[in-house]
Structure 1
Amino acid sequence: MIAGDYALAGALTGFVIGLTGVGGGALMTPILLLVFGVSPTTAIATDLWFAAVTKIVGARVHHANGHVDWQVVRRLWLGSLPMALLIVVLVSLGAPVAKVGLLSSAIGVVVLVTAVGLLAAPKLLASARGRRISRPERFKALQPALTVTSGAILGLCVALTSVGAGALGSVMLLYLYPLRMTPHRLVATDIVHAIPLAVVAGIGYLFAGMVDWWMLASLLTGSIPAVIVGSTLAGKVAGRGIQIALATVLMAAGVKVLV
């Protein structure tokens, strides 16, 4: 496969990441599996480092605009980073989670759940807003613990499949912080949370020699300029249409991966 094809895939994914915070795993991993025929372990390992580097570039743009909610990010990290580290240890020890068949199935399931979450986001947001307004004290009291728990779920998904930090994370944040998460803040917070999570989750695969460095370099050639453009346009383009289109693609990709 020529470098240009990887760069094009990286550019597409990088633009979507910058614009919506979604796509580092949910879009790139299925592309690597279905379009380029990459093995699940190599796809996950390479995608984790692709997401980390790409989102660092995108995060700089969002952080400069003051959109990152650091309190929410820290709460997510309390759950996601320890869980990802645990999975890294298990993968390094050769636990069954690292078997190709299980990884393929896990990727397909998480991609499907991600697609459903994107489609259901408006209804979840409306429900959460109703609860937040009708029972504000109880809702706010539960926010910290539920955010840490959500982080742990994301850490598990990302460490096993490289999927979930963006799409599932954004849906969770909308539900947990329906009044606080403006579109700009949601994208920025989601991206920043995903960076150390991808690094921690990718460490085990890195030391296991599963990262394809040539493919990673080719992907980043396209994604780095594209994520800057996407991050700059975030909030200026209607994100819902992009979410629906992305969810449709992910639904088809998830079914294909499982079949």
Structure 2
Amino acid sequence: MLLTYIISGFAVGLLVGMTGVGGGSLMTPLLTLLFGVPPSVAVGTDLAFASITKTAGTFTHRLRDTIRWDIVRALCVGALPAAVLATLALKQFGALDKEIGQVIRYSIAGSVLLTVTALLFKPRMLAWINAKPSRQLHGRPLFIATVVSGAVLGVLVTVSSIGAGAIGATLLVMLYPRMSSAEVAGTDIAYAVPLTAIAAFGHWWLGSIDWNLLGALLVGSVPGIMIGSYGARAVPERFLRGLLAATLTGVAAKLIY
């Protein structure tokens, strides 16, 4: 079983390296559906996994100066308290209870579908905003919208471990359309580090992290991400994103039914 986890980590890492998205969206449903890991444990383990891998990514983007720290702070103002409150809610209602596990399962499915929407419609959303600059927010309204977006992501990530990647990046593009792709990626990864760390700590407190599983996933994913990053240019991005969207839609349907 340990070898299977390592191979699964490698496969997910490969896709993440090639597309830039899909870590939590694929890993959590994979653990739940394929390996029968309880939803709460799958979420907690994936959050610990994400906090470690995103920390390494943040160092890289910091060296390249592709992080907007002002936006990271605004997102964290909303995301971190929301993550703490969501953790307390899970504690109150019993994160490991069967009924709550079913709620988490549906939350995972909903977050996966939001990720699919972000993958498919981000270019159209961006075009719609750029068509009329008056639609773009500025000043205090922009700050408030960023904080609210962070709060929504904080709840989504804590409950389902999904949302910090594709959904977060899409919200950043919508709110800050003038940011470069590298800045969007760097900022999205940087704010996700404290968010996933706090959420993972909360799940550790709840007893919903499998440390052996976490180690196996890390062993497989690191080389997978590296190989996927090098091979990203060999496969058309449009094809990969379409394949990923179709896979995630099937995963969401399986989680619901």
* TM-score of the aligned structures, taking structure 2 as reference length: 0.89
Q: CA 1:96/1:46 → structure 2, altered by over 3 Å: closer, same or farther?
A: closer
Counterpart residue number, 1:54: 53
* 1:225 shift after superposition: 3.2
Partner of 1:242 in structure 2? 240
Identity %: 37
* Residue pair 2:75, 2:147 contacting (<8 A) in 1 also: yes
Distance of aligned partners of 1:232 and 1:176 in 2 relative to their CA distance in 1, 3 Å threshold: farther
**C-alpha deviation, 1:151, in angstroms:** 0.6
Give the distance between the partners of 1:236 and 1:60, measured in 2 at CA.
26
Residues 57 and 227 in structure 1, CA contact (< 8 A), matched pair in contact too: no
**Pairwise mapping of residues 186-205 of structure 1 onto structure 2 (< 5 A)?**
186-205=184-203
C-alpha deviations, 1:157-202, integer Å up to 9, x for none?
011111111011011111111121x222222211111111111112
- What is the Cα deviation at residue 229 of structure 1? 5.0
- Structure 1 Cα separation of the partners of residues 73 and 54 of structure 2: 17
Tell me the SS of whatever aligns to 2:65: coil
Q: Which residue of 2 aligns with 1:111?
A: 112
Deviates most, 102-111 or 234-243: 234-243
Q: What letter corresponds to residue 101 of structure 1 in structure 2? A: Q
Q: Which of 196, 207, 210 is equivalent to 1:209?
A: 207
Question: What is the 5 A alignment of 1:62-101?
Answer: 62-94=61-93, 99-101=100-102
234-243 or 100-109, which deviates more: 234-243
Letter paired with 1:143: L
Q: Report if the CA contact (8 A) 1:115-1:250 is conserved.
A: yes
Q: Distance in 1 between matches of 2:53 and 2:45?
A: 12
Match of 2:8, SS? helix
Question: Would the alpha carbon gap of residues 70 and 238 (structure 1) be closer, same or farther in structure 2, given more than 3 Å must change?
Answer: farther
What is the CA RMSD across the aligned residues, in angstroms?
2.4
Query: Which runs of 5 or more residues in structure 1 are unaligned?
Result: none
> Which residue identity does 1:216 align to in structure 2?
L
Amino acid aligned to 1:193: Y
- Per-residue deviation, 1:62: 2.4
> After alignment, is 52-61 or 153-162 more displaced?
52-61
Q: Deviations over 1:36-61 (max 9, x none)?
A: 22110110111110111111122222
Structure 1 residue 242: deviation in Å?
2.9
User: Structure 1 residues 69, 237: CA separation in 2 closer, same or farther (over 3 Å shift)?
Assistant: farther
Aligned residue runs from structure 1 range 223-238, under 5 A? 223-228=221-226
